[in-house]
Amino acid sequence: MKITIIYDNTAFREDLQSDWGFSCLVEVENTPKILFDTGGNGKILFSNMEKLEINPLSIEEVFISHLHFDHIGGLDEFLKINKKVKKVYLPSSMGLENEVVLKKPIKIHENVFSTGELEGIEQSMAVSTKKGLVLIVGCSHPYMGNILGTVRKFGKIYGIVGGLHEFSEFELFRDLQLICPTHCTQHKTELKKLYPQKYIEGGAGRIVEI
């Protein structure tokens, strides 16, 4: 699998624009390309896509973690440009024609899973790889123990990529092999110090391949 961070508070590549929000492209073999969240600004989203040589028309599905503006700000513009999107996975309805509202943990493709809406606000995605599940999170508003516990229903977790907000119960990550905090994560320094061999810097342009 391959995760390309398109939109983030920081830029891993100097030619990309940083902005408050998050979006990444998730590519899994024999699975439609999935855009995870859309950042807060459509112009920045498309500008970074162009520089990353990502064709928006090649994306068939969108997965929205939660309905905060920094994660859906680019959605309207994206759907106007890419009218071929077959499904938009949401934790709560937005009244879209092609929306699929996910309230409970579910398999959405052979190797792709959703936690469903947790604690009334947010869903996360998990992708099965040979090394285990890779968890992709938007902001981690629900309790991290709840997110991890839900994902473990689908298998062993290998790593996590995405926003970790105020998460500070670092021992919950002791069994993970990859930690790539992005966006709203407040304790990046502590995570890097505790898990230097597992830690990967995020930022727009960072590519994680498993």
Encode pLDDT of 142-171 as tens digits.
999 999 999 999 999 999 999 999 999 999
pLDDT at residue 130, rounded to an integer:
96
Query: Taken in order 59, 63, 69, 70, is the CA torsion positive or negative?
Result: negative
Cα distance between residue 49 and residue 190, in whole Å: 31
Encode pLDDT of 66-78 as tens digits.
999 999 999 999 9
For residues 200 and 3, the answer to whether their CB atoms sit within 8 Å is no
pLDDT at residue 146, rounded to an integer:
98
Show Cβ contacts of residue 46 under 8 Å, excluding neighbours closer than 6 positions: 56, 74, 77, 78, 81
Q: Which domains does the chain have, with CATH numbers?
A: 2-209 (3.60.15.10)
Q: Coil, helix or strand for 179?
A: strand
Show Cβ contacts of residue 195 under 8 Å, excluding neighbours closer than 6 positions: 170, 173, 176, 179
Q: What's the per-residue H, E or C state across 66-97?
A: CCCHHHHCCHHHHHHHCCCCCEEEECCCCCCC
To the question of pTM greater than 0.85 for the whole model, the response is yes
pLDDT at residue 187, rounded to an integer:
97
For residues 171 and 190, the answer to whether their CB atoms sit within 8 Å is no
For residues 166 and 139, the answer to whether their CB atoms sit within 8 Å is no
